[in-house]
Amino acid sequence: MTRIPGRSAIRSTMVALTAALTVGAAVAAIPRIATADVVTAAAGVEDEGAGCPVPALPDPGALPTVAKLPDPFKKIDGTRIATKSEWTCRREEIKKQAERYVYGEKPAKPQTVTGTVTSTSITVNVSHQGKSSSFSAKVELPGGSGPFPAVVVLGGFGADTAAIKAAGAAVINYDPYAVGKEGTPRSNKQGAFYSIYGSSSSTGLLMAWAWGVSRIIDVIEQSGGTILRPDATGVTGCSRFGKGAFVIGAFDQRIALTMPIESGSAGVPIFRGIPGEGAQSLSSAYGEQPWLGDAFGSFTSSPTRLPVDTHEMVAMVAPRGLFIMDNPHIVNLGPKSASVAALGGAEVYKALGAGDNITYWSDIQDGNHCASRPEWRTPLQQNIQKFLLKTGNAAGTMRISSKAAGNLAEWRDWQTPVLGTGTPSTPPSGPGPSDPPPSNPPPSGCSASISVNAWNGGFVGTVKVTAGASDLNGWTVGLTLPAGATITGSWNTTRTGASGAVQFANVSYNGRVTAGQTTEFGFQATGTSTAMTPTCTPA
C-alpha cells in the first residue's frame, strides 16, 4: 500500500497542502498538550551531538530481546538522563543506534560542497576523497521580498506549488531518486550518494535522501542568504516520500518543521507494533525497495531485538516542529503503531518543555491514500506560520482517530522523568519551605549566547536570548564581528551595522520573553569565524 505509481500520487498529496493553506480556518482551535514556552527555531548545525562519545555498539546477533519500547531517557550505560542538557548526547546515542541497526550511516558533511541558489534552482556539487557527484532542485518563490523560508517536497509539487507559496514560503522540488534511485539491488545502489560512497554501501535510500537534503541546506547556508533563509527549512512528503521526510527531519537539526504524511512501514509506525497490527510486514518493506539499511535485514522477523524504535526517531526531532499526518482507514499503513510512536516521542518533547511543538493527526474522514484532508487545513497552516514564518504560536495536539488508536501504556515499562536544568553532577534543587531565601537570586535582565556553523568563506550565527528573573518586553544584543567579516543577511531581528560592532534588536513577535525562557535570531556573514561574545540589554 505504500507504493506510488508515479508523481501523480504526490500531486494528490499536495492538493491537501493547497486546501490547507487556501481554505479559511474552519477547524476549531487546537487544544494544548503542554504549556511551556520554548524556542521553536532549528539548530544551527546538522548534528549538535557530533562530539558526544558513544559506546561501541554490539553486533545484531548479540542484542537481547526486549518486548517493550526502549526507554528513550536511558543511556547505553544503563543510567537515565536527569537534565535537559543531557539530551544532546542521549540523542546522539539514539542516532548512532538508528544508523547502525535501521537506516545505515549518514556520513558527515563531505570534504567539499559547493553550489548555487537562484530564484529558480539550487545546484549541489559534492566531492569527497577523490569522488564527486552533483544534483539539482527546482525553486519556486512566493510573492514579496526575500529571503524566504522554504519547504522541501520529496517527489515534486507539480501544479500545487501555489499552496506553500501562498503562505509566504518558497518551494524546493527535490527529486530523491537523483540521490538514491529505487528499483536497484542492494548490491548495486545508484544515485549521487552512492557515486560518492559506493554502490554497495550499506546505507539505505531513506538515509541517502536525507544526506541529499542536508547538502542542499549546506548550499543555502553558503549562498549568502539573500534568496532563501538557512534557518527556516521544512520538509514534507507522502507514502514512501513520507518515510523520507521523517528520516530527513530526524537526522538534520537544521530542519525547522518535519511533516511526514501516511508514511507506513519503515516510516513513523513502531517496528514492534507492525506485526500485530497487520500492516505491511517488515520483510516486505525491507524487500520492496532498499529503503532501510542493509543491517535491518537481521530484524525483519524479530523487531523486539532492536535497541531502538521509531518513537525515539520522533524524539530525535525534538524540540523542533513535527506535524505527523496519518490515515486510520488503511491498516497496511500501520496507523495504530504510528500513533504509539507519536505518543512515545511526545514524552520526550514534554520532558524538554516542548510539548507544544508536536502534532499527530489521524482523525480524518477520507480514507484514500494521500488524498486531500480538510481536517488538516488549520494545523498545517499554523505549523508553517509557527516554525517557518515565525508569525504564530499555536500549540500542537494529538488528534488520534478511534479507528486506529494505539495505547502507549501497553508498550512501555518506563516513566517520563522531570528533567532539571542543571548538570548531572549538580542537579537542581529548590529551597524547602523552611529554607532561607537564596543569597544569590537569579539575575534580572537578559543574557545572550551564540552557536556558529562555519565553512570556508562564511558562517551562520544563531544567537539565543535568555530572560533573567523578570519578563523581557524587548531586548538588544551587541556583538563584535571578527575582523573582515560582513553580515549579508539576518532574520528574527532588526540590525544596525554589518561589520565590526553590530547591534541586533527584537522584532514585534519575539520581544516579549517570559522569565527564564529564550528566543533566537540569526545572521549569515562572509569571512572567517572566530570566538564572539554577545551581550544582552533589556529594552
What are the residue numbers of the active site? Answer: 239, 369
Query: Which residue bears the cell 535582565?
Result: 445
Q: CA 456 to CA 446: how far, in whole Å?
A: 33
Burial of 11 (0-12, 13-18, 19+ CB in 10 A): middle
Left if phi > 0, otherwise alpha if psi is -120 to 50, otherwise beta: which for 257?
A: beta
Query: Which residue bears the cell 494529538?
Result: 398
The per-residue DSSP string of 93-121 comes to HHHHHHIIIII---PPPPSEEEEEE-SSE
Q: CA 400 to CA 340: how far, in whole Å?
A: 10
Upstream peptide bond of 147 is cis (omega within 30 degrees of 0): yes
Terminal-residue alpha carbon distance, the chain:
56
Q: Are 216 and 122 in contact (CB under 8 A)?
A: yes
What 3-state class would DSSP assign to 254?
coil
Q: Hey, what amino acid is at 296?
A: F
Q: CA 96 to CA 103: how far, in whole Å?
A: 10
Q: Are 498 and 427 in contact (CB under 8 A)?
A: no
Q: Are 270 and 293 in contact (CB under 8 A)?
A: no
